[in-house]
Structure 1
Amino acid sequence: MNQLEFHRNELQIDYFSDSYRRFESDFYHYSALDTPLTFLIDDILLFMFKSKKDYFKLNKENAKDHQDHYFIFSIETLDEQKSIRKFAYKKVVCSVKYNKKE
């Protein structure tokens, strides 16, 4: 069993939420990658979980505008199942020096 399979049910994002639709729209607006987001999302969630970060970076080499972009998420632990982390997209910024209270 690989790491992704192990965490598959613990790392979740609501694909039908407004939050995810905004994330998808922002990601495609900035990303120059040919790989669809659908194929990247599990790896993105696993990266954020393992690195204990609430964001991931789209580096300037993979951005249409050749700038780094940081996609910020809120991470919630579900009361009924403490091992489950639910990710909700907040915004995209060009610097990680953002105000976490927003």
Structure 2
Amino acid sequence: NLGSLSTIANNNPTNFTLIVIDNGSYGSTGNQKTYTSKKTKLEIIAEGSGFDSIFVIDKERDITPTLSNLKLGCHFIKINVLPGNAKVENITLNPEEIKNRFMNSISK
């Protein structure tokens, strides 16, 4: 929801990072292109909304250094990835387990 960008920035949290992983497509419905694969630039919308810092990551190797160097503030990170769905089995973890695994991986 684009309105959430303004809501987040205007509430000015001091320890918040919004990470958007963008493949430019709707994978669950046949890989139709999203507007972010065309003209819409979420990072420009986030900047106009008032985030303290904006990062766009195109290479996997840049993810960890970017996250490691964040200071207190309200940050927007857009990670561009290739479209497509891997042929993997259903995820058996519940949402809280997924969150905990993610939080543990970025705290290293």
Bin for the TM-score computed over the shorter chain: under 0.3
Point out the structure with the larger helix share: 2
Looking at both structures, which has the greater relative contact order when contacts are Cα pairs under 8 Å and sequence separation is at least 6? 2
Larger Rg belongs to: 2
